[in-house]
Chains A and B, each alone.
Chain A
Amino acid sequence: MLGFRQTDRLRREFEALTLGHLDGLYGAALRLTRNERDAEDLVQDAMLRAYRFFDKFERGTNVRAWLFKILTNTFINKYRRRVKEREVVDAAASEGLHPQMISSPHAQQAPGPEELVVDQLLSDNVLKAIDELPIDFRMVVMLADLQDFSYKEIADVLDCPVGTVMSRLFRGRRMLQKQLHAYAVEQGIIAAPSAAHEEDAKVLELKRHVR
């Protein structure tokens, strides 16, 4: 058993290494659980687990990736069931989207009105769209875009090949685009199927101010 002094030193070391990542962990937890209460619980659980396994952490390696691995594992094992029903629906809905991995680029990316939509939407739309992503896609988007992890780090965190990270990211972002585009149409920021998207951009700019 560790003596008091040793325990104290260990605890201080742990705190010094990990507390700086709390905002990032909480931000990720918020997107995983989609509510503040569960997010707090999840972060606390993950931090406590990390502390319990701190002797397993190899000093000098990537502590942030290690913490996020614990966070995502904790989420999958413990919290995922809470939102299970919704995820089933999500998965079913996403089947329809199944973006072909780059089969016919021009058909998908002809400059349409969706091109510059993101700027016009407000951050709660973006959050809503992220939260609607099926969990596997949400995780990679969040790790890549919000946490700025490299593909290799994401692969380590999620225990999957880098190729899987890339294809999930590709598909996840495409779903996000589609969803944001749908919001923009819904809110009348852009007209549904439109021809001259430059005209749209102007109208849209006007609408935004005229509101």
Chain B
Amino acid sequence: MSAETQSASLEAVDCTEAQALVGPFVDGELSHDDAGSLSAHLASCATCAVTLKRQEQLKQAVRSASTVTAPAHLRSKILAAIAAEAPPARTSGISGWRLSPARWSFEGLSPRAVAFSAAALGMAAWFAFGGLTHPVVDKLLRRSALHTVIDDGIALHSRTLPLDYTASDVGLVQHWLEGNLHFGVHLPRFAQHADAPQPTLLGVRLSTLHARPAAMIQYAVAEDHGRRVSLLVVDDPEPELVGPARRVEGRDVFVSRAHGYNVATWRRDEIVYSLISDLDEGDVLALVRAAEQR
């Protein structure tokens, strides 16, 4: 039974027309009649029905991938800029008033309230060793804070964005970070280890992750065919890191594999450190050990 005979009042469309209508249909742009014609065609054409499904998925994927919240400091920067834009009468008392040269202002950040609780790691018993691979747990953790850090970290790592400060000396970079971040970063001096790769510091890029200031410290591992290692440092008092952890140098280290990268995440006070690399898991853990060794 063809769709056309069911709805004689509607103009029948062929595949070529249907293909052109699918996008506007998904966008809610078709007239009632055109939408009816398309629906009739889709009911009898699996090929075009798949195209529709694909378009819907794509639209949804674009939306969910790129929905973001503007950083809190942007709002205050804009308010200040607008206030400064007012006529002279308004600003006469404070002439020369300028936006703070500092990259970030922190009015929007919430007070540190949540301390990291290492006790919430009951699931660790599920996995002696082997990483975050259990599908059920993986699903549960999908939306958790840890995964947010991991996903964002990988996104930054894989993009090789330009650096804000380039130096190979740990002291110089540490000093630069102190001048540009409001939170203290402990920049690791990777202890020399026969069994750990020796990363060379390349520099640092400032960033924001979900409105929180972050620094992405980049390394190259020369002896291992020019692989890169990124250390993402986020000032993040909130998310509790939950998941199977390993104990490394007195820290709970969450090791995870995603999108082809190995990621080790741990917390030191209110700062979350995340080491991202395509090095193998053993090497990544060795790096964490070298970084945290005191």
Contact = CB atoms under 8 A, between A and B. Distances in A.
B19 interface: yes
Given A15-B82, A23-B69, A116-B57, A102 B259 contact: no
Contact of B66 (A31, A47, A102): A31
A40 B15 contact: no
Interface string A1-34: 1111001000100110001001101110011000
B138 A7 contact: no
A173 B58 contact: yes
Contacts of B34: none
B74 A44 contact: yes
Nearest to A18: B78
A66 interface: no
| Interface bin, chain B | 35 or more
B47 A44 contact: no
Contacts of A109: 19, 47-48, 50-51
Nearest to B152: A124
Nearest to B18: A105
A106 B47 contact: yes
Given A43-B74, A47-B82, A123 B90 contact: no
A145 B61 CA distance: 9
A52 interface: yes
Residue of B70, B75, B155 most packed against chain A (CB within 10 A) = B70
Which DSSP category, helix, strand, loop or mixed, fits chain A's interface? helix
B90 to A, nearest CB: 6
A150 B29 CA distance: 7
A209 B48 CA distance: 30
A51 B82 contact: yes
A28 to B, nearest CB: 9
Contact of A146 (B46, B66, B154): B66
Interface residues of A, number: 65
Nearest to B62: A145
A27 B23 contact: no
B54 interface: yes
Interface string A125-166: 111101000000000011011100011000000000000001
A211 B135 CA distance: 9
A101 B260 CA distance: 36
B151 A123 contact: yes
Contacts of B259: 122, 124-125, 187
B230 to A, nearest CB: 14
A122 B151 contact: yes
Interface in B51-72: 51, 53-55, 57-59, 61-71
8 contacts: A11-B82, A44-B81, A52-B85, A115-B50, A122-B259, A126-B61, A151-B24, A166-B24
Given A36-B208, A124-B155, A144-B27, 14 more contacts: A7-B87, A19-B75, A27-B70, A101-B20, A109-B47, A115-B54, A123-B65, A124-B259, A141-B62, A142-B66, A145-B62, A151-B29, A173-B23, A187-B259
Interface of B: 15-16, 18-20, 23-24, 27-29, 46-48, 50-51, 53-55, 57-59, 61-71, 74-75, 77-79, 81-83, 85-87, 89-90, 133, 135, 138, 151, 154-155, 158-159, 161, 206-208, 257-260
The 7 closest A-B pairs by CB, nearest first: A26-B70, A123-B65, A126-B65, A209-B135, A124-B155, A145-B62, A105-B19
